[in-house]
Chain A
Amino acid sequence: IQLTQSPSSLSASVGDRVTITCRASQGFSSYLAWYQQVPGKAPKVLIYAASILQSGVPSRFSGSGSGTDFTLTISSLQPEDFATYYCQQFYSYPYTFGQGTKLDIK
């Protein structure tokens, strides 16, 4: 399953609402996760099962979608949110990641 994220890069300001989309080449339900990665660090899971917030992750992060279209929304950007975001599917092997969305400060 190929995952295509859009946009590939995004400039935004603190306080903005941001949405990142992950489109799958074939449909599935819930077996999708979102990760945040800051330079030089391992990815950190934010959302799994498409919409479940990982324990300890701020509630400004939310996920939705099923079928072929999934979204990650950050309701009010904070300085620490400027990073690269990846979606990943666990529905079928091989597990695949999107190409990433780099979010930087406007």
Chain B
Amino acid sequence: QITLKESGPALVKPTQTLTLTCTFSGFSLTTSGVAVGWIRQPPGKALEWLALVYWDDEKRYNPSLQSRLTITKDTSKNQVVLTMTNMDPADTATYYCARRRYGDFPFDYWGQGSLITVSS
């Protein structure tokens, strides 16, 4: 059974750095073709893809946020970590992690989401 779960602070102050952890089970990020990504959704708005890390440590970022994002993986812990610097109230959103496989495969398994509010 494949599961993913996001964890992180519910509240972040403006200018702070957000660290989100995705802990997964049921698959391995050492398996060829597997990737874990982050997607966010502001309240009442559409989904936005943020970043992705592949089994071979290739990393991809959304250019609109690339200067603020870092994605890393820890295969021994089955975790993927996303850091986002210089948080702003506009970054208030539910943050999801999700798995996909290389090719035309979608994000097939998603975490439940973690609502992050940016406020002083």
Contacts and interface: CB of A to CB of B under 8 A. Distances in A.
Interface of A: 30-31, 33, 35, 41-45, 48-49, 54, 86, 88, 90, 93-100
Interface of B: 37, 46-49, 52, 60-64, 96, 98, 100, 104-108, 110-113
Contacts of B52: 95
Given A43-B47, A43-B110, A100-B46, A49 B104 contact: yes
8 contacts: A35-B47, A43-B47, A45-B106, A48-B104, A88-B47, A88-B106, A94-B49, A94-B62
B105 A48 contact: yes
Nearest to A34: B106
A90 to B, nearest CB: 6
Contacts of B108: 45, 48, 54
Contact of A90 (B47, B48, B104): B104
